[in-house]
Amino acid sequence: MALEKLRGPQTDALFEAILELRDLDECYRFFDDLATISEVQSLSQRLNVARMLKMGYTYENIKNETGASTATISRVRRCFDYGSGGYGEILERMEEKDKEEEEV
């Protein structure tokens, strides 16, 4: 399982640091220091691809809207369908938050 290869003290420290972020401004500042613009854009693109796959968009629609390659879309699909469940968990929380904000 890829998850076990990822685990380790350095990765734990990174994720603990991310969990300490309090708002979007802190996230932007931290990720600006931590990663290149391209790396952050790539991660955000993958999350957007996962969201669109969950919504039933076709590969062609996703490719046209996000600019993601079919290889990236396929990789995200594999992770979404057979991975550790991270995409599904986060997308569900984001949907719940969106619904709560609409009700307010």
pLDDT, the chain, mean: 94
pLDDT of residue 104: 76
Tokens of 100: 């709560």
Direct distance between the N- and C-terminal alpha carbons of the chain, in angstroms, rounded to an integer? 41
Residue 100 has pLDDT above 70, yes or no: yes
pTM > 0.85: yes or no: yes
**Options 1.20.120.920, 2.40.50.140, 1.10.1270.10, 1.20.1250.40; CATH of 7-103:** 1.10.1270.10
Give the model confidence (pLDDT) of 9-42 as tens digits: 999 999 999 999 999 999 999 999 999 999 999 9
Cα–Cα distance between 33 and 26 in angstroms, integer?
Answer: 11
